Copies of this chain bind each other. A is one copy, B any other.
Amino acid sequence: MNLNKNLQEYFDELSSSSPTPGGGNVAALCGALASSLGAMVCNLTIGKKKYADVEQEMISLKNKLEIYQKEFFELAQKDNEAFDKVMEAFKLPKESDEEKEVRNSKIEEATINAAEVPSDVMHKCYELLPLLKTIADKGNKNSLSDAGVAIALTRTSVQGAYLNVLINCSSLNNQTIAEEIRKRANIIFEEIDKGTAQMLEIITKSFLPA
């Protein structure tokens, strides 16, 4: 994803009817935002006397989150490319039977790829979440709400990616492949949805009077 683009340009392109960026791109972006906020909490923990015993752990987590952030950006870019490929396949000629067959096969192939990119976003979130949990548990308590927002963003990243997996699978001809992709996605979705909800409930309660 082109990170030299300014925020105004990104939002203008998002709102527009241009094919990309769309919801799949935003889902991956949420993963990058979650990683970035998590890294912020690490940075607000590192160097503080009170948290000296978790300093090394926070440095290591921060380094991992910086890598994850980049990987989410790559996935956001891949999502744009995958969608463009589907659009290209739809534009192929469909006069002769042979052309129709080539076109259908290219659409199918591009759609499988367009389902696999958000599957990868879901997997990355699955790796990200335990890191954010540790940060919420052990990081600077003054930034616990930030860790919570990062966890909520992970939930949305997974939810958004899941919807993109499903819409692509729903238009596949090969329903055996579709079912396989869906099944794997469903397992991650259920686990992250439940896990994030629990974590958010604990964080919420910690802010309420006893």
Q: Which residues of A contact B (CB under 8 A)?
A: 1-8, 10-11, 14-17, 22-24, 26-27, 29-30, 32-33, 36-37, 39-40, 43-44, 46, 65-66, 69, 143-146, 148-150, 152-153, 155-156, 159-160, 162-164, 166-167, 169-170, 175, 182, 200, 203-204, 207-209
Contacts and interface: CB of A to CB of B under 8 A. Distances in A.
A129 to B, nearest CB: 14
A22 B7 contact: no
A179 to B, nearest CB: 8
Given A14-B37, A153-B156, 9 more contacts: A5-B6, A5-B7, A6-B7, A15-B43, A16-B40, A22-B143, A26-B153, A149-B159, A166-B208
A167 B159 CA distance: 26
A3 B3 contact: no
Interface of A is mostly: helix
B150 A23 contact: yes
A134 B166 CA distance: 21
A65 to B, nearest CB: 8
B7 A69 contact: no
A149 B175 contact: no
A155 B159 CA distance: 11
Residue among A10, A146, A150, A182 with most chain B CB within 10 A: A146
A170 B207 contact: yes
A40 to B, nearest CB: 5
Contacts of A32: 11
